[in-house]
Amino acid sequence: MTPRQNSQPAAPTASDSGLFLPLRTAVVLLTAVVLGLVIGGLTALTGAHPATAAIAGLTAAGASTAALRTFIQ
């Protein structure tokens, strides 16, 4: 007799599932981009110069990435 093997396959990991990014990383980056767009859009609506709105959006996206990384687990 041969030993019984587990008939269920192992859970896929990020390296063998064909994903470009792990799901957590994709969610963090997508949320940071959305927050950056919202902040940049709101800044533009105040009548600020477009470059100022872009800098505000980029800053918000960059700053929120670190915070979202700890919140989303």
pLDDT at 44: 96
pTM more than 0.75 = no
Q: What is the pLDDT of residues 8-47, one digit of tens each?
A: 656 555 555 677 889 999 999 999 999 999 999 999 999 9
Q: What is the mean pLDDT of residues 52-57?
A: 96
Residue 71 pLDDT more than 70?
Answer: yes
pLDDT of residue 17: 64
pLDDT of amino acid 62:
94
From the number of C-beta atoms within 10 Å of its C-beta (0-12, 13-18, 19+), residue 50 rates as: exposed
